[in-house]
Structure 1
Amino acid sequence: MPGDSEDPNADVQYHLEVGPEDVADTVLLPGNPERLEKIVDFWDDHEMRAHHREYRTATGSYEGTPISVTSTGIGSPSAAIAVEELARVGVETFIRVGSCGALQPEMDVGDLVITTGGVRQEGTSDEYVREDYPAAADYEVVSALVAAAERLGYDYHTGITMSADSFYAGQGRPGYEGFEAAGADELVDQLQEANVKNIEMEASAIMTLANVYGLRAGAVCTVYANRETGEFRTEGESRAAETASLATHLLAKMDEAKREAGADRWHPGLSLDLEE
């Protein structure tokens, strides 16, 4: 292979500026760097570890469980960089924490959407695998997110998420001066008929890369808009942050239960005491 312009395997990563000692095994991935402060508010403690470009990283603990957060900026290209570089310093689990537009009429603003799989409408994951490769959430991550939402009493939905590369034309919205992309007028209807739950911009790339590398990933997003009803409000952001933080703690307990039972994967037959 031709020589590289930099060593991608250096201890301190090029974009994130983090090393193995800077992050926990599980990292939450919000897009907006400002969302990081809202996430760490739920933790026992935290310390800022790096800030470079759109990437801000903090590490701390939640109910005694080590946890980290790295903001990714908007879109799958920058999210994929975060997954690549975090994986290189030892991260094993990724949970996207974001906002989304809901597609089904029964989904209210402020509800959570826990992704079980993704429609790969973004182009980043195409750089890694063939287009019919699935973007699947890890079922342990999904289980932990569902358990966390149940424990916290938050309304949630589970299902398929579409990840787009465009906030406007790629999500069926008009562009500048009313521009409409080909097929934009049918996009939302087609997704609704296929029982897709929501649209956002990073989940499918994060899940695809995690599966390719044998790692765990999932996503939880707060509904800001409902594309069926036209309702839009930026509220409930903290619910996704709290749910993902608690899910990280529950995943640690699941991993402990696996070790004690000598099991490779967690399953409902292994106890998980939510009160501890």
Structure 2
Amino acid sequence: MSTHIQAKKGEIAETILLPGDPLRAKWIAETFLENPVCYNEVRGMLGFTGTYQGKPISVQGTGMGIPSTLIYCHELINNYGVKNLIRVGSAGSYNRGITLRDIVIAMSASTTSGINNSRFINADYAPTANFELFMKAALFAREKNIEIKAGNVLSSDEFYEDEPEAYKKWADFGVLCVEMETAGLYTIAARHKVKALSLLTISDSLVTGEHLSSADRETSFSKMVEIALGTV
């Protein structure tokens, strides 16, 4: 048992899916896993373990933002021996060609967070996906004829920007979309020599102003979850 997760040793699988929303974790477990068992309810951050095609798989809500995500990732890696961490999250598009419900695989993550400033003084660290997981996800998507986009994403510390046009600078440099966790996930995975990948479904567009409802974000990201499970 750790500070924020009440599971006992052995109750969490080596492979875990990480949605920010704990209710999405519940939906994933009940929809895709066989015999899911809830191992965590601390702070309402639900976690479940079940099986998928005979393999043990866990799913754990992480909350919003890098600080919250790092708490759960640290405990999952160091207290429970998790080896493969796959974020299944939502993102806002920076590109007119990337529309609602499109799936983006984060090859790398730029960030407005200062999470690595104290580690790399006067330098920029580039958090990147694990190549093995990235290739498995891309090949699975191709086999299932699921269209994906892949590239650099932005992990932002702010959900509401003061300047609504600020995204255009990132877009000009090829950043595909914005979310709030991937840079932290990729950094902690690299630090502890485990594998990480971030899969994102576009839930809104900063270009057009379109957005999905909260209910849609909780329960309608099936293709992304299929890719995540196909990867493992």
* Structure 2 length-normalised TM: 0.90
What is the number of equivalent residue pairs in this alignment? 224
1:61 to 51, 55, 67: 51
Amino acid in structure 2 at the alignment position of 1:69: V
User: CA deviation digits over 1:68-104, x for unaligned, max 9?
Assistant: 1110011111100011000112111111111000111
- How far apart in 2 are the matches of 1:56 and 1:123? 28
Once the 2 structures are TM-superposed, how far is the Cα of residue 232 of structure 1 from its aligned partner?
A: 1.7
Distance 1:81 1:128 in 2: 18
The answer to whether the 8 A contact 1:97-1:241 is kept is yes
> Once structures 1 and 2 are overlaid, which stretch shifts more, 46-55 or 160-169?
46-55
The percentage of counterpart residues that share the same residue type is 29
Q: Is the 8 A contact 1:145 1:244 kept in 2?
A: yes
Q: Which residue of 1 aligns with 2:124?
A: 132
Match of 2:4 among 15, 26, 33: 15
Q: 1:66 to 1:202 in 2, by over 3 A?
A: same
Instruction: Tell me how far apart the structure 2 counterparts of residues 113 and 51 of structure 1 sit (CA, whole Å).
Output: 30
* 1:196 maps onto 2:175 in alignment: yes
Q: Is the 8 A contact 1:141 1:217 kept in 2?
A: yes
The alpha-carbon distance between structure 1 residues 59 and 126, as it changes in their structure 2 partners (threshold 3 A), is farther
CA RMSD between the two structures: 1.7
How far residue 141 of structure 1 moved from its aligned partner, in angstroms, is 1.3
Deviation (angstroms), 1:19: 3.4
**How far 1:39 sits from its partner (Å)?**
1.1
Q: Do the aligned partners of residues 142 and 189 (structure 1) sit closer, same or farther apart at CA in structure 2, a change above 3 Å counting?
A: same
Which of 96, 100, 114 in structure 2 is aligned with 1:109? 100
Aligned equivalent of 2:205: 226
Query: Is the partner of 1:166 in helix, strand or coil?
Result: coil
Do residues 143 (structure 1) and 145 (structure 2) align? Answer: no
Pairs within 5 Å for 1:179-190: 180=162, 184-190=163-169
- For 1:24, the aligned partner's letter is A
From the superposition, tell whether residues 39 and 151 of structure 1 become closer, same or farther in structure 2 (CA, over 3 Å).
farther
Alpha carbons 1:148, 1:244 under 8 Å: kept: no
| Runs (5+) with no aligned partner, structure 2 | none
Please report the TM-score for the alignment, with normalisation by the length of structure 1.
0.76
The letter for the 2-side match of 1:237 is F
Query: Which amino acid is the alignment partner of residue 33 of structure 1?
Result: P
3-state SS of paired residue (1:196): coil
Bigger relative contact order (CA 8 A; separation at least 6): 2
Q: Considering only CA atoms, is the larger Rg found in Structure 1 or Structure 2? A: 1
Mark the CA change 1:127 to 1:71 in structure 2 (over 3 Å): closer, same or farther.
farther
Cα deviation for residue 185 of structure 1 reads: 4.9
Cα distance, 1:110 vs structure 2: 0.7
- Which residue of 238, 241, 251 maps to 2:222? 238
Unaligned runs of 5+ in 1: 1-11, 170-179, 249-276
Q: Would you say the 8 A contact 1:38–1:238 is kept in 2?
A: no
- Is 1:25 equivalent to 2:14 in the alignment? yes
Shift of 1:54: 4.1
Counterpart contact for 1:125–1:209, Cα < 8 Å: no
* 1:35 equivalent in alignment to 2:24: yes
The answer for the alignment partner of 1:208 in structure 2 is 187
Q: Distance in 2 between matches of 1:20 and 1:123?
A: 33
In 1: Cα distance, 2:61 partner to 2:117 partner: 22
Of the structure 1 ranges 41-50 and 112-121, higher mean CA displacement relative to structure 2 is found in 41-50
